[in-house]
Amino acid sequence: MATPDKLDLLRGTLDVLILKSLSWGPAHGYQVASTILQESGGVLLVEEGALYPALHRIEKKGWLEAEWGLSEKKRKAKYYRLTTEGRAELARRTQTWTRYATAVTRMLQA
Protein backbone atom coordinates (compact mmCIF):
# COMPACT_ATOMS: atom_id res chain seq x y z
CA MET A 1 0.00 0.00 0.00
CA ALA A 2 1.24 3.52 -0.83
CA THR A 3 2.26 6.01 1.81
CA PRO A 4 0.47 9.38 2.07
CA ASP A 5 3.47 11.10 0.42
CA LYS A 6 3.16 8.85 -2.61
CA LEU A 7 -0.61 9.31 -2.86
CA ASP A 8 -0.40 13.10 -2.61
CA LEU A 9 2.65 13.53 -4.82
CA LEU A 10 0.93 14.55 -8.04
CA ARG A 11 -1.97 16.33 -6.33
CA GLY A 12 0.52 18.38 -4.34
CA THR A 13 2.47 19.65 -7.34
CA LEU A 14 0.85 23.09 -7.35
CA ASP A 15 1.29 23.43 -3.60
CA VAL A 16 5.05 22.85 -3.77
CA LEU A 17 5.40 25.23 -6.71
CA ILE A 18 3.57 27.93 -4.76
CA LEU A 19 5.68 27.33 -1.67
CA LYS A 20 8.85 27.54 -3.75
CA SER A 21 7.79 30.76 -5.47
CA LEU A 22 7.10 32.35 -2.09
CA SER A 23 10.46 31.21 -0.70
CA TRP A 24 11.98 34.17 -2.56
CA GLY A 25 9.75 36.65 -0.75
CA PRO A 26 6.16 37.81 -0.31
CA ALA A 27 4.02 38.05 -3.43
CA HIS A 28 0.42 38.43 -4.54
CA GLY A 29 -1.33 35.76 -6.58
CA TYR A 30 -0.51 37.16 -10.01
CA GLN A 31 3.16 37.38 -9.04
CA VAL A 32 3.11 33.77 -7.82
CA ALA A 33 1.68 32.56 -11.14
CA SER A 34 4.16 34.72 -13.10
CA THR A 35 7.10 33.39 -11.10
CA ILE A 36 6.06 29.79 -11.71
CA LEU A 37 5.68 30.45 -15.44
CA GLN A 38 9.02 32.29 -15.68
CA GLU A 39 11.08 29.89 -13.57
CA SER A 40 9.67 26.86 -15.42
CA GLY A 41 10.88 28.29 -18.72
CA GLY A 42 7.36 29.14 -19.81
CA VAL A 43 6.13 25.57 -19.41
CA LEU A 44 3.98 25.69 -16.27
CA LEU A 45 0.96 27.97 -16.62
CA VAL A 46 -1.14 28.23 -13.47
CA GLU A 47 -4.71 29.34 -14.08
CA GLU A 48 -6.54 31.57 -11.58
CA GLY A 49 -9.14 28.86 -11.03
CA ALA A 50 -6.45 26.57 -9.61
CA LEU A 51 -4.15 29.17 -8.05
CA TYR A 52 -6.45 30.97 -5.64
CA PRO A 53 -8.10 27.87 -4.15
CA ALA A 54 -4.60 26.44 -3.65
CA LEU A 55 -3.37 29.64 -1.95
CA HIS A 56 -6.39 29.60 0.39
CA ARG A 57 -5.93 25.88 1.13
CA ILE A 58 -2.24 26.33 1.91
CA GLU A 59 -2.99 29.36 4.08
CA LYS A 60 -5.51 27.31 6.09
CA LYS A 61 -2.82 24.68 6.69
CA GLY A 62 -0.68 27.37 8.28
CA TRP A 63 2.05 27.30 5.64
CA LEU A 64 1.30 30.85 4.47
CA GLU A 65 0.30 34.14 6.04
CA ALA A 66 -1.44 36.86 4.08
CA GLU A 67 -2.05 40.55 4.38
CA TRP A 68 -3.59 43.17 2.13
CA GLY A 69 -1.42 45.73 0.39
CA LEU A 70 -1.13 47.66 -2.85
CA SER A 71 0.23 46.12 -6.03
CA GLU A 72 2.69 47.81 -8.37
CA LYS A 73 -0.34 49.24 -10.20
CA LYS A 74 -1.76 50.65 -6.94
CA ARG A 75 -4.52 48.04 -6.79
CA LYS A 76 -5.55 46.26 -3.62
CA ALA A 77 -3.83 42.85 -3.51
CA LYS A 78 -3.42 40.08 -0.99
CA TYR A 79 0.26 39.37 -0.35
CA TYR A 80 1.29 35.89 0.79
CA ARG A 81 4.47 34.89 2.62
CA LEU A 82 5.81 31.61 3.95
CA THR A 83 5.54 30.79 7.63
CA THR A 84 8.15 28.76 9.48
CA GLU A 85 5.88 25.74 8.98
CA GLY A 86 5.68 26.55 5.28
CA ARG A 87 9.46 26.60 4.94
CA ALA A 88 9.68 23.21 6.68
CA GLU A 89 6.97 21.82 4.38
CA LEU A 90 8.80 23.15 1.32
CA ALA A 91 12.00 21.42 2.45
CA ARG A 92 10.16 18.13 3.00
CA ARG A 93 8.34 18.29 -0.33
CA THR A 94 11.48 19.31 -2.22
CA GLN A 95 13.21 16.20 -0.90
CA THR A 96 10.25 14.02 -1.89
CA TRP A 97 10.05 15.54 -5.38
CA THR A 98 13.76 15.12 -5.95
CA ARG A 99 13.53 11.40 -5.12
CA TYR A 100 10.45 11.07 -7.36
CA ALA A 101 12.01 12.92 -10.32
CA THR A 102 15.18 10.85 -10.06
CA ALA A 103 13.18 7.60 -10.06
CA VAL A 104 11.05 8.64 -13.06
CA THR A 105 14.16 9.77 -14.99
CA ARG A 106 15.86 6.42 -14.30
CA MET A 107 12.81 4.56 -15.53
CA LEU A 108 12.49 6.63 -18.70
CA GLN A 109 16.18 6.26 -19.52
CA ALA A 110 16.21 2.51 -18.92
CB atoms within 10 A of CB 49: 8
If we measure between CA atoms, which residue out of 109, 69, 94 comes closest to residue 13?
94
What is the structure's pLDDT at 10? 54
Q: What is the pLDDT along the chain (110 residues), one digit of tens a residue?
A: 444 444 344 567 899 999 999 999 999 999 999 999 999 998 889 999 999 999 999 999 999 999 999 888 888 999 999 999 999 999 999 999 999 899 999 999 99
Spell out the domains of the chain, with CATH numbers in brackets. 10-109 (1.10.10.10)
CA angle 41, 21, 85 (to 5 degrees): 150
